[in-house]
Amino acid sequence: MGKGLLVKKAKKGDKEALLQLVMAEKDAYYRLAFTYMKNEHDAMDAMEDMILTLYEKIDQLNKAGAFYSWSKTILVNICKSMLKKDKKVILLESTPEGQSCYQAPFISSEQRLDIQQMLRHLNENQREAIQLKYYHDLDYKTIADVTDVSIGTAKSRVFEGLKKLRELFGGDRDD
């Protein structure tokens, strides 16, 4: 069954259709939640809250094609509110060993650690935007939605963060 049809069924109150949509992207949701929450239990709690919120608010979704962008925005907002509620200040870090967001198998754990050390030199907004772009492969529109900023601001955060990393750590390119 196509995504569009599943979204239509979900909007009519079909819980099974909504769960099928979520399960199709469960790994991406989990990685995204884990990036913020830092542990499996809290990440799973955030995903459960997301599913409840999606079910309650699915009627507010206008375009079926925007379901995943919309749902990921809801998930990030839930994570951020859970962190605020717990009065935790957690900077985005890497996922635990064996659950790397990096899809490239040739990146060693030492290299991942180096990348995390490098990202600590950025401000929180730049770090978040770069991680959403390159760890979670989100487009600028989705990053903008998730972080509640304009597309231009999302692009700028990624660009400025990468520029700062190049200044600090080399990597001049001849474009």
Rounded mean pLDDT of 87-116? 48
Residue 49's SS3 state is helix
- Does residue 60 lie within any of the structural domains? yes
Is residue 174 within 8 A of residue 155, CB to CB? The reply is no
Q: How many residues does the chain have?
A: 175
CATH code for the domain of 46: 1.10.1740.10
Count of domains forming the chain: 2
State whether 51 and 116 are in the same domain.
no
Q: What is the pLDDT of residues 42-55, one digit of tens each?
A: 999 999 999 999 99
Is residue 170 over pLDDT 90?
Answer: no
Q: For the residues 60-82, what does the mean pLDDT come to?
A: 92
pLDDT of residue 96: 43
24 and 79 in a common domain: yes
Report CA dihedral (26, 27, 32, 36) to the nearest 10 degrees.
Answer: 100
- Indicate the helix (H) or strand (E) that contains 57: helix 40-57
Choosing from 50, 85, 120, the residue where a domain stops is 85
Domain that holds residue 30: 3-85
Give the pTM.
Answer: 0.68
76 with 148, same domain: the answer is no
